[in-house]
Amino acid sequence: MKSPNFIRLHDARDLGIETIYQTLALADHLNAPANLFLGRELKTRFGNLDDTRMMAEAVRVLKRLNPNFKNLNDPVSSLSGGQRQVIAIARAIYFDVKILIMDEPTAALGPSETAMVGSLIEQLRDEGIGILLVSHDMHDVFELCDRVIVMNKGREVGSHRIEDVTTDDILSLIIKGELPQDWVPRSRKAVQ
């Protein structure tokens, strides 16, 4: 199988790969539907913006993620961090995402919003969307991930199933770039 060669952002999008950046890349002065379709606006048959259809589609996709989302006409600058994250996730999944790269999705959120985003990540995973979670938060990593990959200066220093490692193992990979010499996967320890 030939590896894809990404030259433009659209090359990844064409393959169903979307990214949600830590900064969310939302236009603060626009509302939820305008952000959802920013750069990929829906148009009428005459080439005009189809605001009615974009609003209807935004309602549909946002209700799928958060049935209580009601602030569709407010500028996103007035929304909470969790609501802004929902808009960013909705933008990705509306366009038939297969792999979603999430960069520190809970970094600026409080505990309840972090739990909400965690639930959304689990929901998307259950729907068959591959999630690549970039995070320094060990709780998020162990709560949400099936596998952990630790990188240092662009080089992989460890890749393990989450059930095989502890927080201390991950920290050892981060700090020293290796596991202790006597390291044994946790799943193998349980068998012994």
Domains of the chain: 10-145 (3.40.50.300)
pLDDT tens track for 49-106: 999 999 999 999 999 888 888 889 999 999 988 899 999 999 988 988 999 999 999 8
pLDDT tens track for 132-187: 999 989 999 999 999 999 998 889 999 999 999 999 999 999 999 999 888 999 87
Q: Are 172 and 192 in contact (CB under 8 A)?
A: no
Task: Label residue 111 exposed, middle or buried (CB < 10 Å: 0-12, 13-18, 19+).
Answer: exposed
From residue 23, alpha-carbon distances to 81, 102, 104, 173 in Å are 10, 11, 9, 27
Indicate whether 189 pLDDT > 70.
no
Backbone angles phi, psi at 101, to 5 degrees: -95, 120
In terms of DSSP bridges, do strands 130-134 and 147-152 run parallel, antiparallel, or are they unpaired?
unpaired
Model pLDDT, residue 176: 92
pLDDT tens track for 17-52: 999 988 888 999 999 999 999 999 999 999 999 999
C-alpha angle 161/11/6, rounded to 5°?
A: 65
Determine the Cα–Cα distance for residues 4 and 12; give it in Å rounded to an integer: 9
Size of the chain in residues: 192
Q: Which residues contact 7 (CB under 8 A, 6 or more apart)?
A: none
Strand partners, 134: 103
Q: Which ranges of 18-151 would DSSP assign to H, the alpha helix? A: 32-36, 51-65, 81-94, 111-126, 138-144
pLDDT tens track for 117-132: 899 999 999 999 999 9
DSSP 113: H
Determine the Cα–Cα distance for residues 51 and 97; give it in Å rounded to an integer: 23
Tokens of 183: 């390291």
pTM of the model: 0.85
